[in-house]
Amino acid sequence: MKIDILTLFPEFFNTLYKWSIIGRAYEEGIIHINCINIRDFSKDKHKRVDDYPFGGGAGMVMKPEPIYDAIQSVKGPKSRTVYLSPQGKVFNQDLANNLSKEEHIILLCGHYEGIDNRIIEHYIDEEISIGDYVLTGGEIPAMVIIDAVTRLLPGVLSSEESFIEESHFNGLLEYPQYTRPREFNGYNVPDILLSGHHENIENWRKREALKATFMKRPDLLEKRDLTKEEIEILSQIKDYSE
């Protein structure tokens, strides 16, 4: 996969290629990440990329010409152009899964009071937000998306199981995890995880994943097409919690 980041602050991403899973994927050629400085496309002698909004109002708006030229400099027939915007669809695992199937993603990072709306209307394929709050710019959301998408690419993680069992991948939160020592400050690892009985462990994990989702994120259950078994388990969990 190729990812081009259009930004006013390319130095923000200097360490992106050097750490953890993204760094390994970059080194192995699974993902290619390129930063483009939007300011390089400004025709203003002072390299300005913003101006006052028509109609008045606070702040500055990013001009359309430099953004358009930056997009066109990397856009190809299979590119998907994403604008990181507080008005976009809230990023979730489904969106990450969809983006992971693309060959080329262009991530446009806005700043100031936003960008000229003609760019959004005519040259953007999708607007994405990472949450209902305001950030200074699109750089942090871009990093979030790159991280979430990269780990889904074939060959990035050691096994498919590594992300299939993670929280949100299948619409549920992940079951609790434990490691050594067996006893810590008087708290013990659940006996079933030490039993070696794989079927019982799998059933326990399924129940605990449903329990965690019910207790922490019940909204996720409303979106899930529950199986008959899951409905029965949830009924038991609800009865126990009342």
2-150 CATH? 3.40.1280.10
Backbone CA torsion sign across 40, 45, 50, 55: negative
| pLDDT attached to residue 159 | 63
Spatial distance between the Cα atoms of 22 and 94, rounded to a whole number of angstroms: 20
At 117, the pLDDT band (50, 70, 90 cuts) reads very high
Cα of 228 vs its chain's centroid, Å: 31
At 17, the pLDDT band (50, 70, 90 cuts) reads confident
Backbone CA torsion sign across 160, 162, 163, 167: positive
**Stretch(es) of the chain classified as CATH 1.10.1270.20:** 165-241
The amino acid at 44 = D
**What pTM does this model have?**
0.87
Rg (Cα) of the chain, in Å, rounded? 23
Mean pLDDT of 37-42: 98
pLDDT above 90 as % of the chain:
86
pLDDT above 70 as % of the chain:
95
| pLDDT attached to residue 164 | 60
Range 165-241 classified under CATH 3.90.660.20: no
Spatial distance between the Cα atoms of 131 and 61, rounded to a whole number of angstroms: 22
Identify which of 4-13, 156-165, 216-225 has the greatest average pLDDT: 4-13
Mean pLDDT of 166-173: 75
At 125, the pLDDT band (50, 70, 90 cuts) reads very high
The length of the chain, given as a count of residues: 242
| pLDDT attached to residue 163 | 63
| pLDDT attached to residue 161 | 45
Mean pLDDT of 181-186: 96
The least confident of 19-33, 38-52, 116-130, 151-165 is 151-165
| pLDDT attached to residue 160 | 53
Mean pLDDT of 236-242: 86
**Token code pair at residue 212:** 């965690």
